[in-house]
Amino acid sequence: MDQLLFARWQFAITTVYHFLFVPLTLGLSILVAIMHTQYYRTNDLKYRKMTKFWGKLFLINFALGVATGIVQEFQFGMNWSEYSRFVGDIFGAPLAIEALAAFFIESTFLGIWIFGWDKLPKLLHLISIWLVAFASNLSAFWILVANSFMQNPQGFVLNNGRAEMVNFFDLITNPYVWHQFPHVVTAGITTAGFFVMGISAWHLAKKHDVDFFQKSFKYSVVYGLIGVLAVCGIGHAQGQFLMDVQPMKMAAAEAHWETEDPASFVAIAAIDEEAGENTFSIEIPNMLSFMTYNSFSGEVKGIHDLQAEYEAKYGEGNYVPQVTPLFWSFRAMVGAGGLMVLLALIGIVLLKTGKLQNSKLYLKVMLFAMALPYIANTTGWLITEMGRQPWIVYGLQKTAEGISTVVPASYILISMVGFTLVYGILAVVDVMLLVKYGKKSPEALEEAPTASEEVSLWT
């Protein structure tokens, strides 16, 4: 049995499961805080209902996100002990700050917000949910600081076979994190916007609490459109940055085998990875150069030339990641983003013209459109992590070198199957709870629950 393969699959599965919950937590925390702010400003009970209704769904998602995230950190010490030994001096610092500062603030003030209705002064209660939103996104920042070192290591020296931190400031000012962090935050905003739009659309199609859900849709469609447009802009800048720091990742995502000037963008291709070519392709002339340089001319290096450069720099080996999944993941991500922009714009037009409630087809589509940000988020992270291979720390340590040498493959396989089943159950529970409470009327959730009801999300 292949120890490395099982360890990679285990971490990939747990990460994908976990990141189903993270973007919604990031974005919905801000949206709920905005709704609560409106209630504080206007003292209008409509906004109180909105805050409580969407806040309930936020709490469910938050709880499941925490449950799925804990296991990941244990895997660093168990399945990836050689990696932890190599970068522990660096990797541990941002993760410790995330747990001791960001997550502590987030969980503490979330409890204060849950139990603080009609007990705290209104301003302090409002501040508590904004601190939750701030800390949720701060938590993402510190995790991305750790991930960015893996993608673009800096602020370190090699000493006795270990990477040791010499400048913490270099770590947090890594340009990779400042491209990645805004991308993740705006992806969360997009996810929350389409989540609220989808549930609101279902209620509007059923003629339930029309005023309430039309107002919720209005807030979320603007919120989601801002998010997806920001994602597109930031993603474009990030792609150009990656052309400099990880050109092989971008070449693989474009199935760009040969160096060209100007370079064409391959829209669709039949890829033969063994032969290192596309047997069929539909290309847009000069477009890849434009995507890279904002100009219709400019050299873009191909996979073959980059492989030769990497061999000269790092020694013999295969430095080409899996091209086919990267190629189609990129197009799924971009396609989902384009659909979201279109659907959000249509939603705004329907709102402005007063036709939203009677647009049955659009409302039905928006229910299924809730999946689009999840597709974009998942495929985006597949590109990020699969495109880095064969490196676990880019240019410093290969993935095969980071695996634990003492954990048998059979143990990893058993735990992988176990985690997959448990996480699958949690995902089902999450969907069931979101459906259960998402179908309820705002009045059913507006009244403050009893202490026993507040403690449990399973009732």
pLDDT tens, residue by residue, 329-344:
999 999 999 999 999 9
Per-residue pLDDT at 414: 84
Give every CB contact of residue 381 below 8 A, 6+ residues apart in sequence. Answer: 15, 16, 19
Summarize pLDDT for 353-371 with one digit per residue, the tens.
Answer: 888 888 889 999 999 999 9
Contacts (Cβ under 8 Å, ≥6 apart) of 232: 337, 341
> Alpha-carbon Rg of the chain, whole angstroms?
23
Look at residue 375 in the predicted model and tell me its pLDDT: 93
Q: 37: closest CA among 122, 136, 98?
A: 122
**pLDDT tens digits, one per residue of 312-331:** 999 888 999 999 999 999 99
The yes-or-no verdict on residue 445 having pLDDT over 70 is no
Q: How far apart are CA 158 and CA 154, in angstroms?
A: 11
pLDDT at 453 over 60: no
For 391, residues 6+ apart whose C-beta sits below 8 A from its C-beta are 397, 398, 399
Mean pLDDT of 6-30: 85
Reply yes or no on whether the pLDDT at 227 is more than 90.
yes
pTM above 0.75, yes or no: yes
Residue 187's pLDDT band (cuts 50, 70, 90): very high
Q: What tens digit of pLDDT does each residue of 110-136 get? A: 888 988 888 889 999 999 999 999 999
| pLDDT at residue number 446 | 60
Please check whether residue 389 is in contact with residue 399, taking contact to mean a CB–CB distance below 8 angstroms: yes
Q: What is the pLDDT of residue 451?
A: 39
- Residue 36's SS3 state is helix
Say yes or no to pLDDT of 383 above 80.
yes
- Helix, strand or coil, per DSSP, at residue 39: helix
List residues bridging with 159 in a β-sheet: 162
